Structure 1
Amino acid sequence: MADFVLVAGARLGAWAWDEVVPYLHAAGHGVHPLTLSGLAEKQGVLAGQQTHVQDVVDEVERQDLRDVVLVGHSYSGIPVGQAAERIGDRLARVVFVDSSVPADGESFVSAWPDGGATVKTSIAENGGFWPLVTAAHFVGQGLTDDQIARIVGGSTPHPGDTLTEPAVLARSLAELPATYVLCLLAGDKPGDDVAELLAGEHWRLVEMATGHWPMFSQPRELARVLLDTVGR
């Protein structure tokens, strides 16, 4: 049986996976939702990107996990992708859920149209944290009003340095066994960087007919996708 380590995106914590966890447990797998430093119950702590990478590595090593499926959603694909190469033969697969993927020397905001200038300004104006967003940010993503309210109510400001510091990779992500989950309401094609990785022999694509937060909008279906990565 696999051990799933679940890491949600910006502003979210382990709580974001509450509706996915029971399905993975029911299939007999270990499940370890993880809150990154500075978020949710760990909020207020300034953290850099490598802090978040180490959070993931430490969780795997502290619990001596084997056959690990690392799951990174949205922003968290950046630290999860780096952690995946650092846990060695403990890794079974990495799953990127509608997420960014790391590139050596590049940050989360590097690919943004303005090079991240707007985000950096926002972080500087908010004490080193990326501020919260309103409910309008989540409209059109297959979420009910109650689900949107839950996300907004549970979110905490995100440590800014994790978004602007560069990733550090020793080898190409193309060498990792990986699944990319594309949420079609957020965009019907993967970015060029992901498309290039999907062209390799170790990556595969799964599409979901929902928005960018499938752990809320389609938790059962997302769990099924995750289970399929390990043959259930």
Structure 2
Amino acid sequence: MFPYLQEIHQFPYPDYRFMPRGYYYSPYSEGGWLWSNGAFESDERYRLPAQQRLTFVLVHGSWADAHFWDGVAAVLRSQGHAVYTPEYAGHGKDPNKDVTHAMVTKSVVNFITKLNLRDFVLVGHSFGGTVIQKVAEQVPDRIRRLVFWDAFVLKDGESVADELPPQTRQGFEQLRAGSKDDTIMLPFPLFRDLFVNTATLEEARRMYAGVTPEPATPLFEKLDLKAFYALPTPKSYIYFFQDNALPQGEGFGWHPHMSTRLGQFRLIVGDGDHFTDTRTRPEMVARKFYEAGRD
């Protein structure tokens, strides 16, 4: 097995005041820059008062890595928030795809403890919801609030695969069986319809160019979550209406199927899909994170 050396991803512009207004950086775009709806709020007029600034730890989902957050993190930082984007085992530059859910969780826990992060808002997207469930069990005293963005909230003893519609699960099992390293690679038509359904075809192809095979094992592992469901940590759920990654209704979907498992929670809604808006409307996504995370 290859050793996993975790990196701390920082936005490529060290001083966001000098970032071109109206744009944000994305590794998925030609030349790196994409137009963003609305002016990029990067000057001092848009920075929040110190008492309103938060610390965010953003945990990506499947078929993504820490660069998924580049645009959103830049917006939040420009407003005075501290933002950290850990990348977990089996993703990004890690060549080893033979990972478990426990290894994924350990990556994020180690990142948090190494940097001695405290009083932060822990955000999980999609599969990242299961990661923050397990992270919260290990470092509950460090977390200010948990935020699930169109994310899995598994019941005790469940796996992600248990929450997939039968047709989707069968397709994933076939893709897994056909791989040489126990991974699942999304075919473009599936990615386009389920993950980036509001994007233009050009945007969808550009984002798909950054997708890499996903380690399969963590998606099929059943998790012990008894400790999570005993935690008093405040929780929020962000639901985007056009997110088609899970079908809504008939016992599936993000909200209310997943969200209501949190017990008491704050609901924040938006109009977007599963992937696209982090690239094309990072200001909107950042605003939803702040609404979900603030007191």
Normalising by structure 1, what TM-score?
A: 0.88
Partners of 2:230 and 2:207 in 1: how far apart? 30
Question: Structure 2: which 5+ residue stretches go unaligned?
Answer: 1-52, 249-253
- Determine which of 159, 166, 184 is the counterpart of 2:241: 184
Q: Which residue of 2 aligns with 1:102?
A: 154
Equivalent residue for 1:11?
63
User: Are 2:220 and 1:164 equivalent residues in the alignment?
Assistant: yes
Aligned equivalents of 1:35 and 1:123: distance in 2? 23
User: Is the 1:183–1:209 contact (alpha carbons within 8 Å) kept by the matching residues of 2?
Assistant: yes
Larger relative contact order (C-alpha < 8 A, sep ≥ 6)?
Answer: 1
Partner of 1:143: 199
**Structure 1 counterpart of 2:288:** 225
Contact 2:87 2:108 in 1 (8 A): no
Other-structure match for 2:94: 42
- In the other structure, the counterpart of 1:57 is 109
Q: Which has the larger radius of gyration?
A: 2
Give the conservation status (yes or no) of the 8 Å contact 1:211–1:217.
no
How many aligned positions are there?
229
Note the C-alpha offset of 1:110: 0.7
Matched, 1:124 2:177: yes
The CA distance in 2 between the partners of 1:150 and 1:3, in whole Å, is 30
CA–CA distance in structure 2, aligned partners of residues 144 and 174 of structure 1: 41
**Residue 206 in 1 paired to residue 268 in 2?**
yes
Residue deviations 1:18-76, cap 9 Å, x none? 11111111122221112221112224431111111111111111110011211111111
Shift of 1:138: 2.3
Structure 1 SS opposite 2:268: strand
Distance 1:43 1:133, change over 3 A: farther
1:23 aligns with: 75
For the aligned residue pairs, the C-alpha RMSD in angstroms reads: 2.3
Per the TM alignment, residue 79 of structure 1 is displaced from its structure 2 partner at its CA by 1.0
Q: Secondary structure at the match of 2:242?
A: helix
1:177/1:37 Cα in 2 relative to 1: closer, same or farther (>3 Å)? same
Q: Distance in 2 between matches of 1:173 and 1:143?
A: 39
User: Residue 220 of structure 1 aligns to which amino acid in structure 2?
Assistant: E
CA distance in 1, matches of 2:256, 2:231: 15
Instruction: State the alpha-carbon separation in 2 of the partners of residues 230 and 204 from structure 1.
Output: 9
Gap change, CA 1:150 and 1:32, over 3 Å in 2: farther
CA distance in 1, matches of 2:174, 2:233: 35
TM superposition score normalised by structure 2: 0.71
Work out the CA distance in 2 between the residues paired with 1:91 and 1:80: 10
Equivalents in 2 of 1:156, 1:173: separation in Å?
A: 35
* Aligned ranges 1:60-79 → 2 under 5 Å: 60-79=112-131
Equivalent residues of 1:131, 1:157 under 8 A apart: yes
Task: Give me the whole-angstrom Cα distance separating, in 2, the residues matched to 1:173 and 1:100.
Answer: 18
Which of 164, 168, 188 is the equivalent residue of 1:134? 188
- CA-CA distance at 1:154 after TM superposition: 0.9
Q: Which runs of 5+ in 1 are unaligned?
A: none
The answer (yes or no) to whether the contact 2:238–2:292 under 8 Å persists in 1 is: no
CA displacement, residues 120-152 of structure 1 (integer Å, 9 cap, x when unaligned) = 332122120011330552246322334322321
Task: Give the drift of 1:174.
Answer: 7.3
SS in 2 for 1:107: coil
8 Å Cα contact 1:40/1:155 also seen in 2: no
Corresponding letter in the other structure for 1:4: F
